[in-house]
Chains A and B, each alone.
Chain A
Amino acid sequence: MAADSPSSVRKVVVHLRATGDAPILKQAKFKIPGTDKFAKVIDFLCRQLHRETLFVYVNSAFSPNPDELVIDLYNNFGFDGKLVVNYACSMAWG
């Protein structure tokens, strides 16, 4: 289950996993308010890795829309108390 915090906003534990040729983050686990959009996770990743675009997806072979709420993603794809978010650098189109 998501960690409870004293305020009314539930926080979600996000575990960032490098896949493909992506660099591994020194700190890969974070807590983020459930009411935040997934875009925040994507932006954080892009800034940490100094990249404009990244391929970001969750464990069920699904790439969430940046407008999705983190809590909704946790409820659908969360496992073992956290939301695992995979990222790769090789997002080529053509």
Chain B
Amino acid sequence: MDILSWDGTLSSGGRILIIGEHNSQEEHDEISCPQKEETSCSEKEELIDIATLVQSNCSKVPYYDLHIIYSASYRVPVLFFRAYYSDGEPLGFNAIEKDLPAHSAKALLDSKWTFITQEEHPYLNRPWFKLHPCGTSEWMKLLFHVDVSVAKNGVTIELYLLSWLSVVGQVVGLRIPLEMLNQP
């Protein structure tokens, strides 16, 4: 395979549908919602347990579902995601925007709606958000241009997906463990 003439897309050997879940609570250092029982002040009523003041946020831990779906028209994987609180209430776009890592928020400012759009999930037929795919082949090309082993051996689908996910995962705050790349 001639890497220089590769267009950065994935040939349609089959569709990919991977379901992953990402609880963004780990990213939220500000949530001091206590998981333990507040029994420390049960004896003396004068004591004020300030940890309970933020209790109203307890149910407001956002959960994210991430799906990877192959786009036949762009011939690249596309990240679909949705966010909802533990009580099932979905997060609107504005709430998600506040939840995203800072650099994603910056990209959103520049190119809202060409970056993240709301669309019907092709299999679940519900409104999900998706990362726009049309730039994907360009930066996938860049990623693999510098990898010397690719010119000799080509790109496996697993490697392609891992590389792709390392980029799109950053948008939603997903971090690929470096150990994954060391596996044969």
Contact = CB atoms under 8 A, between A and B. Distances in A.
A53 B110 contact: yes
B167 A63 contact: yes
A42 to B, nearest CB: 8
Contacts of B166: 57, 62-65
Interface in A26-73: 42, 52-53, 55, 57, 59-68, 72-73
B135 A92 contact: yes
Nearest to B74: A94
B49 to A, nearest CB: 32
Contacts of B143: 57, 61-63
A53 B107 contact: yes
B175 A67 contact: yes
Contact of A60 (B134, B170, B181): B181
Interface string B161-184: 011001101100001101001100
A90 B143 CA distance: 12
Interface stretch (B62-70, B83-91, B144-152): B144-152
B169 A65 contact: yes
A66 to B, nearest CB: 7
B178 A68 contact: yes
Nearest to A86: B146
A77 to B, nearest CB: 8
Interface residues of B, number: 36
Most buried by A among B107, B139, B159, B170: B139
B114 A88 contact: no
A20 interface: yes
A62 B101 CA distance: 19
Contact of B162 (A62, A76, A91): A62
Nearest to A22: B142
B170 A93 contact: no
A62 B134 CA distance: 19
Contacts of B150: 61
B121 interface: no
B125 to A, nearest CB: 22
A79 to B, nearest CB: 10
Contacts of B126: none
B69 to A, nearest CB: 15
Given A57-B142, A57-B143, A65-B170, 8 more contacts: A53-B103, A59-B148, A60-B147, A61-B143, A62-B176, A68-B178, A73-B178, A94-B133
Interface of A: 17, 19-20, 42, 52-53, 55, 57, 59-68, 72-73, 76, 86, 88, 90-94
